[in-house]
Amino acid sequence: MDTYELVTRNAAEVVTEEEVRALADDPDGKRAYVGYEPSGVLHLGHLLTANKLIDLQDAGLDVVVLLADVHAYLNGKGTFEEIRETADQMKEQFLAYGLDEESTEFVLGSEYQLDEDYVLDQHELELETSLNRAQRAMAEIQSGETAKVSHVVYPLMQALDIEYLDVDLAIGGMDQRKVHMLAREELPSLGYRKPPALHTPIVGDLSTGEGKMSSSEGVTLSMEDATEDIEEKVNSAFCPPERDPEGEKVNPVLELFQYHVFPRFEEVVVERPDEYGGDLVYEDYDDLADDLESGELHPADAKGALATYLDELIAPGRKRLREIRGE
């Protein structure tokens, strides 16, 4: 796989292909970043962007992980102290998951977001941006309840962070795209660069295949899940043998294979007794998806293999979390 392919595989959107190609052609010393509101436990949504960070490290880029404590505070996630405490746990789980320690820099937002230079730039962005624009940028991030003034400050700070962390590529789920578009439009008016961005897909809820999978709504998997929890959730996951004719519902079992399993394993073995045709071995996601659709691969067998691989991915973080908690 060439570097550009590795950098962009499984991306839902690349902004722009030309800019990202230039980075892939010369990755040495280039920095990509992603930000997370600190939370005590990582779930599959975090791991999907983490897989992209691992791709980028394999491609030779350095990675910056922003533990966005001030953003979590602005988004009503708890007291500043509570949020701070979870940031370190989050870092430990990312490292256990497989981010390369040498080429990953973890930064707390509050390390620079309260400095005078930053705050004055933030206020300039506030002056440059309409309320409507900032609200639209935040619409997919904020989860529902009445918008507060903090919710329009949030996307402006997220945009400004791209400049302050001196990064060459912004990574995020598709729910972050409007913040990145705002950054591309507004940062140049402060004399800063227009940042390239790469967006990962949002994986549907495990039980229905609809909406976004997150810890707050629907069924997801997290670093807290025991092997049996993973088996149970995967076994009850929505997995229609045919693709939805209207194309509306996605198949979460296939999505998990595509975005979580195949990027991290050379091959996927689906174990089957000899009387059902024996083991199936896949090196490629499309072959597995084709077999599921044709009936060659039964959903129950696919789910069994999926649970095994997901458990293997989650195991090191689960162990680390238990150590941290003294369990």
Q: Which amino acid is at 106?
A: F
| Residue of this chain nearest to ligand NAL (CB atom) | 35
- Taking the C-alpha atoms of residue 56 and residue 58, their distance in angstroms, rounded to an integer, is 5
214 binds ligand NAL (CB under 6 A): no
- Taking the C-alpha atoms of residue 262 and residue 268, their distance in angstroms, rounded to an integer, is 7
83 binds ligand NAL (CB under 6 A): no
199 binds ligand NAL (CB under 6 A): no
- Taking the C-alpha atoms of residue 56 and residue 41, their distance in angstroms, rounded to an integer, is 23
Eight-class DSSP state of 261: I
- Taking the C-alpha atoms of residue 74 and residue 138, their distance in angstroms, rounded to an integer, is 12
What are 172's strand-pairing partners?
Answer: 199
**Least spacing, CB of residue 97 vs ligand NAL, in Å:** 17
**Least spacing, CB of residue 138 vs ligand NAL, in Å:** 9
Judged by CB under 6 A, the residue of 141, 221, 239, 307 near ligand NAL is 141
Stretch that binds ligand NAL, among 32-40, 53-61, 88-96, 255-263 (CB under 6 A): 32-40
Site for ligand NAL in 171-190 (CB under 6 A): 176
138 binds ligand NAL (CB under 6 A): no
Stretch that binds ligand NAL, among 31-39, 57-65, 85-93, 312-320 (CB under 6 A): 31-39
Instruction: State the Cα angle at 63 between 61 and 113, rounded to 5°.
Output: 140
Task: Give whole-number Cα distances, 223 to 55, 292, 306, 322, in Å.
Answer: 21, 28, 16, 10
Question: Which residues fall in the annotated binding site for ATP?
Answer: 215
**Least spacing, CB of residue 160 vs ligand NAL, in Å:** 8
**Least spacing, CB of residue 66 vs ligand NAL, in Å:** 5
For 90, the 3-state DSSP assignment is helix
For 169, the 3-state DSSP assignment is strand
Site for ligand NAL in 36-75 (CB under 6 A): 36-37, 66, 68, 71
35 binds ligand NAL (CB under 6 A): yes
Eight-class DSSP state of 259: I
**Least spacing, CB of residue 128 vs ligand NAL, in Å:** 18
For 203, the 3-state DSSP assignment is coil
Question: Which residues fall in the annotated binding site for L-tyrosine?
Answer: 33, 154, 158, 161, 176
**Least spacing, CB of residue 265 vs ligand NAL, in Å:** 26
**How many positions of this chain bind ligand NAL (CB under 6 A)?**
10
Residue 45 has phi, psi (to 5 degrees) of: -60, -45
**Least spacing, CB of residue 36 vs ligand NAL, in Å:** 6
The candidate with the shortest Cα–Cα distance to 233, out of 207, 257, 212, 268, is 207
Stretch that binds ligand NAL, among 30-38, 95-103, 144-152, 259-267 (CB under 6 A): 30-38
Exposure on the CB side of residue 206, measured as CA atoms within 13 A:
24
For 65, the 3-state DSSP assignment is strand
158 binds ligand NAL (CB under 6 A): yes
Chain contacts with ligand NAL (rule: CB under 6 A): 35-37, 66, 68, 71, 141, 158, 161, 176
